[in-house]
Chains A and B, each alone.
Chain A
């Protein structure tokens, strides 16, 4: 389809996404693939119920378990804009890119793309390990949608950018992983489409190369006026590259606008904590309320950004004179204790001769050294007779939305509880 009215073309958005939705059937995804045997066996075992099932499906009566990866997504991108797409894992970012690059069709809605689209969901798609660097440039270029003549024209620039002149005729299986990624990105960077869709591809490669890639992408947009849709977890990269951002949450656009505004909206935890309120049982002493606040404006929170501390707040009542009493807070994760603290650690005399009354206490927890995850704090009151309430617990979440943890020792999938950069000092001996 060609659009010949040039004036109209420039004022119209280059990407128009309207009421986009993508539905997955959960049953579809669970099994991976089905064996024909099971289907046939099912038909023969229960021919009647199979027919009923099919009939219901046809009429649309049967309720399948559905999952909308995207629902009612609407946004426009103007020519020459660099738009970032951000959101937590599972928010639908990758699905959006897959639909935009026509890998999978939408279930509802439509997208209009006014220009040649290049998608970079992965660097080195289709690279064949047995083929040489030279051969792979052509193969990968063709897969990315370049014409042979076009690749020939850009060949020298691709090789130069990747810095692999010497290894051009070596099979890429003998390349170092750095060389491999450099070559792959270099081919992709020379695609020159009107619209470039980029997924988290910059997570690979060393820091220096990442900078080079970001520089190249910046050049592509600033000098050549191309449009980029950029998905990343790297807020730094988003901030330097994109003027505008779209924030996805559970398959919906929840915020759209200037990058700085969207990022701050995204990184500010929104969940306000419910204060855990406990029934006052007839006991000598009891916790009545537990809540958490952040250390800056002392707002109630349930989730904090990785690297910040949190205040634990308690309210408790003492009914009568107690010869000895203390309060303990135990932080644990996945059933393993991490940190235990008593309110008498600072001053042991505080333990004795406690008077009746309603008290409020507050303690700063060093959560800035904790990794991502869900943590549980159990509160106990200790006297000569043990008074504990199993409900006196509060949960909090440490989330990471700013720091790229790929390759880091404190990535959440690696062992350990703490988030710490240690100074490794190495010298040659």
Chain B
């Protein structure tokens, strides 16, 4: 027989992790719902998921690759930019989804108890599915351009995904919790994401920053994008220091996100 004690609560504890695990099915159902519902009553449905990064890649290739002649570490620009875009879309999409995840589920939050952390995490999971679909285009492009990734390169991809996942979750938790109190977040976020795109080496190679590239690496996506290109396309060799800085930055984001989220979580139902 389980028994619950309800007391004035304050901090994050191991109990929260256990609880998240208990509610993993709900996490699945929320992600499943978002995927199911998203493209209802659209003509081409799920193709949108692939179309968005693909069209962005074409536009960037024309303007930055062809017209502006952006350097691309000796790799054809379309595949160079698509590798970056794929991870970038995962991150930025997850960020904007998570930020509105609590406010969007207001009706449920005020009526039912479940670990609230599930909502932002499930939004990131949804975007991860999008990533997998988008990755098929990358595979097609790699075959087209004749790139065979090294086995060691493939092994590092899961690590990159974990970094992206937790960086987006951490920042997303922070933003979603902030959004409950200050709805300004939804107006600020689009600008923030746009600016973030320019300080992430998606359109350009990190080498452009020269010896200051470690500053760029404070943005966890820098390490991720740069390493992905090195691993999949062999554009450069893997810069482990850059990756380490990004991993640490990601970890910090996650800590800040979880701590802030847990701190304000108890007021969600009262002020949302």
Binding site for B on A (CB under 8 A): 1-3, 9, 24, 28-29, 33-37, 39, 98-117, 119, 121-122, 125-126, 128, 130-131, 135, 138-139, 142-145, 147-148, 194
Contact = CB atoms under 8 A, between A and B. Distances in A.
B3 A1 contact: yes
B108 interface: yes
Contact of B5 (A100, A110, A130): A110
A21 to B, nearest CB: 9
B1 interface: yes
B37 interface: yes
Contact of A99 (B6, B32, B110): B6
Going nearest first, the 10 A-B pairs with the smallest beta carbon separation are: A102-B113, A36-B182, A142-B29, A111-B6, A36-B184, A114-B3, A113-B4, A125-B111, A104-B269, A130-B40
Interface string B8-46: 110000000000000001101100110011001100000
A126 B5 contact: no
B183 interface: yes
A66 B187 CA distance: 32
Contacts of B129: none
Given A103-B113, A125-B111, A143-B108, A110 B182 contact: no
B107 to A, nearest CB: 7
A100 B26 contact: no
B263 interface: no
B145 interface: no
Interface of B: 1-9, 25-26, 28-29, 32-33, 36-37, 40-41, 105, 107-114, 180-184, 266-267, 269-271
28 contacts: A1-B2, A1-B5, A2-B1, A2-B2, A29-B270, A33-B182, A33-B183, A34-B181, A102-B113, A103-B111, A104-B267, A105-B266, A106-B6, A106-B8, A112-B4, A116-B2, A117-B4, A119-B113, A121-B111, A125-B107, A126-B108, A130-B36, A131-B33, A138-B29, A139-B32, A145-B112, A145-B114, A147-B25
Nearest to B105: A126
Contacts of B184: 35-37
Given A28-B270, A116-B2, A135-B36, A103 B112 contact: yes
Nearest to A143: B112
Contacts of B109: 103
A8 B85 CA distance: 61
A114 B269 contact: no
A100 B270 contact: no
Contacts of B112: 101, 103, 119, 121, 125-126, 143-145
Contacts of A2: 1-3
A39 B5 CA distance: 36
A102 B7 CA distance: 10
A5 to B, nearest CB: 10
A112 B180 CA distance: 29
B149 to A, nearest CB: 37
Contact of A35 (B9, B32, B183, B267): B183
A110 B7 contact: yes
Contact of B36 (A1, A34, A114, A131): A131
Contacts of A110: 5-7
Nearest to B266: A105
Given A35-B182, A130-B37, A142-B29, A113 B270 contact: no
A36 B184 CA distance: 7
B113 A101 contact: yes
Contact of A104 (B2, B40, B266): B266
B269 A98 contact: yes
Contact of B3 (A3, A106, A128): A3
B6 A107 contact: no
A99 B198 CA distance: 46
Contacts of B110: 103
Contacts of B2: 1-2, 115-116
Nearest to A31: B271
A111 B37 contact: no
Contacts of A102: 4, 6, 113
Contacts of A34: 181-182
Given A1-B3, A35-B184, A125-B112, A107 B270 contact: no
B81 to A, nearest CB: 34
A144 B183 CA distance: 28
Contact of A131 (B28, B37, B180): B37
Given A28-B271, A107-B8, A114 B1 contact: yes
A139 B33 contact: yes
A111 B33 contact: no
Contacts of B270: 24, 28-29, 104
Nearest to A6: B1
Contacts of A3: 1, 3
Given A104-B266, A121-B111, A125-B112, A142 B3 contact: no
Contacts of B183: 33, 35
